[in-house]
């Protein structure tokens, strides 16, 4: 497998807003590929704009962190989000959201590199317990298992797929205190 040369960096609210069109295009690409990202296909740009605006606000407030991958030409090729739990009793916890890699950049390890960047950032922020959920019937299940994520199990009929069909979600967790930095 070829390693990706794409540069990954955490972005602030201004950079996320400036990359808005590219982030929405990446999201649309993921939805069109069947990724369970919280949207039905084809992606409605108005809904994507509203979602992105809320994300920018959360990044500015410090409750969300976002990593983007850029190819050599500066195009956005991947992203992942870390949503900090905001309850007083959960300062150690966060949720991984919106891991997506452009169809043209898949199969080169970019998803693994995005997750490694997110996990480093989570550790630095003192967020050592991570949770996530993914389509129970997708290749993402093996992706997370292969990277040491613990399985909570499957919740059937959890949401609609991008095609509008009911699907289950597989819930995972990871204690970063138990893992070495990749």
Strand partners of residue 173 = 131, 150
Q: Which two tokens stand for residue 100?
A: 């997506």
pLDDT of the residue at 179: 76
In a domain, 154, yes or no: yes
Phi, psi for 158 (deg, rounded to 5): -70, -40
Phi and psi, residue 175, nearest 5°: -100, 105
Question: What's the rounded Cα separation, in Å, for the pair 148 and 166?
Answer: 28
Q: How far is CA 162 from the centre of its chain?
A: 16
Q: pTM for this structure?
A: 0.95
Q: How far is 163 from 42, CA to CA, in rounded Å? A: 8
| DSSP codes joined into one string, 44-87 | PHHHHHHHHHHHHHHHHHTSEEEEEEE-TTS-EEEEEEEEE--S
Count: domains in the chain: 1
Residue 1 domain-assigned?
no
Residue with tokens 């500066």: 74
For residue 180, the model assigns a pLDDT of 56
Digit-coded pLDDT (tens) for 117-160: 999 999 999 999 999 999 999 999 999 999 999 999 999 999 99
Which domain range does residue 130 map to? Answer: 7-178
Question: Which CATH number fits the domain that encloses residue 130?
Answer: 3.40.630.30
Decide if 170 is inside a domain.
Answer: yes
Domain for residue 2, yes or no?
Answer: no
* Residue segments in the chain with a per-residue pLDDT below the cut of 70: 1-4, 180-182
């Amino acid at each position: 497998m070829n390693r990706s040369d794409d540069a990954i960096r955490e972005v602030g609210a201004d950079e996320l807003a400036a990359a808005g069109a590219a982030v929405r295009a990446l999201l649309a690409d993921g939805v069109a590929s069947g990724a369970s990202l919280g949207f039905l296909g084809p992606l409605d740009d108005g809904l994507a704009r509203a979602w992105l605006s809320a994300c920018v606000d959360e990044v500015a407030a410090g409750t969300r962190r976002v990593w983007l991958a850029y190819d050599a030409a500066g195009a956005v090729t991947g992203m992942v989000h870390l949503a900090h739990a905001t309850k007083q009793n959960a300062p150690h916890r966060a949720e991984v959201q919106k891991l997506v890699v452009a169809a043209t950049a898949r199969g080169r390890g970019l998803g693994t590199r995005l997750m490694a960047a997110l996990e480093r950032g989570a550790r630095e922020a003192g967020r050592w317990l991570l949770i996530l959920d993914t389509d129970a019937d997708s290749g993402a299940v093996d992706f997370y298992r292969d990277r040491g994520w613990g399985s909570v199990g499957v919740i059937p009929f959890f949401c609609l797929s991008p095609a509008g069909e009911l699907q289950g979600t597989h819930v995972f967790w990871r204690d970063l205190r138990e893992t070495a930095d990749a």
